[in-house]
Each structure stands twice: as structure tokens, then as C-alpha cells.
Amino acid sequence: MPTLMARLFIGLPYLKSDIVRKGHIYCSENTRRQLKFKADYTIGESIGQRDELDYWLTERHALYQQNGNKLHRIDIHHKLWPLRKLYIEPQISGYPMIANPQGSLPDCTHYAEELEVLVWGRVTVS
């Protein structure tokens, strides 16, 4: 529901996919666009001391969206994400943005339980 709301009210280009997590398998599939990703994952220990990259990746309090020749800022507020290490082993990748999952794993992966996020309407920046 949050992604539908973000698409309808803010205009973010989210696509509907069927997502299933069962045991240690994660699978996301968008049959309309023929996109599929499947991975085996293990949630690791809590990340106590965060480094600069951890903060940069997770503590975003605004996002920017370009719509035509206008740039919009959408303000976001949330508590500190309770990060845990995440270990993944991709099995299938049909997403063009993920080149070769068997040969190249992400440099950094994290996991966090769902967290409430407050979102304000968008403001035109330029």
C-alpha cells in the first residue's frame, strides 16, 4: 500500500511486483515487464557502530524527483533504521540493472525491519 500511495499522490515511478519471502528465499517478479530477481539470504548480526557509508545509504531525509523540466523535493522523517548485516546469494536476475549476479555481488547489503516513515508533499525546487 505505501508504494501505491507514493505512486498515486507523489508520482514516484514504482512498479507493482509480486514479492515473496519464504524461509531464506526472496523472490520479486514483475511479469508485465518480464523482470525477476531471486536470492537466498541470511540476516546477520546487528550493525552497532555505523560508518559513513551506512549513514549515507540509510539516513536520507529527502528525495528528489524530476518531472519534465521541474525538480521536486519530498521531505521524509524516520527513526534510525535498526540495521543488520545481510548476506545474499543471487540465483536469478532478470533485472537489467543487475548485470551478472553469480559473478558480481553488491559491495554492501543491509537489512532492517519495517519502519514507519512520515512523508510530506513535494515542493518544487527549480
Question: Distance between terminal CA atoms of the chain?
Answer: 30
pLDDT score recorded for residue 90: 78
Give exposure, 17-41, as e/b (b: 16+ Cβ within 10 Å).
beeeeeeeebbbbbeeeebbbbbeb
Q: What is the mean pLDDT of the chain?
A: 83
Closest among 57, 64, 67 to 110, alpha carbons compared = 57
pLDDT score recorded for residue 24: 93
pLDDT score recorded for residue 40: 92
